[in-house]
Structure 1
Amino acid sequence: MQERMDHLDESIGLRKLTLYRDVVLTEAGAAPAQPASRASVAAVIRNPWAATGPTADLSREQQRIAPLLAILLTGRLIDALGGVDRIEAFGKAAIVGTGGEIEHAGALIHTPYFGNLVREFLKGESIICFADSRAEAGETLVVPLWHKTHASTRSHYQTVSARVSDAPRADEIVVVAAASTGPRPHPRIGDRMTDPVVTTETLEVVAS
């Protein structure tokens, strides 16, 4: 296992991994009916396209690196949250350092080489919520989540904050996968599949 990790470190320039996990035990003075654990795993890698210019082809490194990150991050998410079948919501994100383009962040998360594999490994069906940014080291990125098989399930609309204190450096990218084992505490604002039809005409009727 260590030999495989050492090879991965060298192959993609992996500098560090950061795992964040929390569980809400009480909210508004009461325990949630279904306490949910949330987690994010961030991989700090060297930016393979640093200083390459805005016309550089991103596809070769994208196809090589993104699947490795999908395997690496989802494996740790599953371990952190107690198994893939406990995971109900997911999200993804990337932060590129100041020496890179925002497109470099997108290249590692907005393609089938990452997204499709994350979805498959976490047994999901929904499009994966995302966030991407360019920032200095230590910047916090809020990663949105929603239900992995029923995207319209509003109870699972939530966020996880991801931060690596010393990353990304100017020539690095932080790639994040995040997940939750359940909904927000005390969800009670309805669901998109059962919402009433609301238009400007219905609002005029209510106001009259």
Structure 2
Amino acid sequence: MELEIRKIVTIQEETFIEGFKKAKNPVRIAAALAVIKNPYAGRYVEDLLPLIKTYSEKLGEILPKKAMESLGITGEEVEAYGKGALIGLDGEIEHGSAIIHTLTFGNPFRKLCGNAETLLPSAEKRGSAGSTLDLAIKHKMDAKIRSHHMTFEVRIPDAPRNDEIIIAAVVTTSGRAHPRIGSLHKELEGVFPS
């Protein structure tokens, strides 16, 4: 099987005002999305290992780098991250899951983000060209830090075609602009936000 990427799209945003209040620092988020050929579109295939071997490791390296480059940051500056797959209508959600839910995808991603430790949160669904995907984001070192729980909506107008998959990686330099609900650590200790 050959790696076939039709295009890579990078989407970024910087939020300066949230909830009618200026952010102390802009919330900077970027996602890189690869539109790839789905060799299993339109048929059932039991063994997904060739798909994993072709795409997982390569995209686990390419996409986080592209997202970080678009923000002009290093992996040490990434505070939170996530991943996703949007599968064209002739594919199975399992095809996208096979690519992103592997250590060959996750380990390079975590290493690029300063040896991050948490599992990458994910979103997977099937959809037509132009469908949106809400990428889940969590803190890269501690999943209980609620300030970094958020989503980032992405879409590509002409993808995925029925025989394609979009694989996405998202990174951010901070959590939400004005977090004030407290961490799960505190709540587990019986301390609630005031």
TM (norm. structure 2) is 0.91
Q: Is the 8 A contact 2:2 2:54 kept in 1?
A: no
Instruction: Output the amino acid matched with 1:92.
Output: K
Aligned to 1:64: 54
Q: State how far apart, in whole Å, the 2-side matches of 1:73 and 1:196 are.
A: 35
Q: State how far apart, in whole Å, the 1-side matches of 2:19 and 2:5 are.
A: 41
Choose which of 101, 121, 125 in structure 2 pairs with 1:129: 121
Aligned to 1:19: 10
Q: State how far apart, in whole Å, the 2-side matches of 1:197 and 1:153 are.
A: 14
1:42 lines up with 2:43 in the alignment: no
How large is the Cα RMSD of the aligned pairs?
1.6
Whichever structure has more strand as a proportion of its residues is: 2
1:29 lines up with 2:20 in the alignment: yes
Aligned to 2:105: 114
1:76 lines up with 2:51 in the alignment: no
Shift of 1:63: 1.7
Percentage identity across paired residues of the two chains = 35
Shift of 1:48: 2.2
1:86 lines up with 2:77 in the alignment: yes
Instruction: Output the amino acid matched with 1:29.
Output: F
Q: State how far apart, in whole Å, the 2-side matches of 1:29 and 1:51 are.
A: 48
Q: State how far apart, in whole Å, the 2-side matches of 1:131 and 1:76 are.
A: 19
Aligned to 2:168: 176
Q: Is the 8 A contact 1:156 1:183 kept in 2?
A: yes
Aligned to 2:151: 159
**Structure 1: runs of 5+ lacking an equivalent:** 1-9, 199-208
Shift of 1:196: 5.2
Instruction: Output the amino acid matched with 1:34.
Output: N
Number of aligned pairs? 188
TM (norm. structure 1) is 0.86
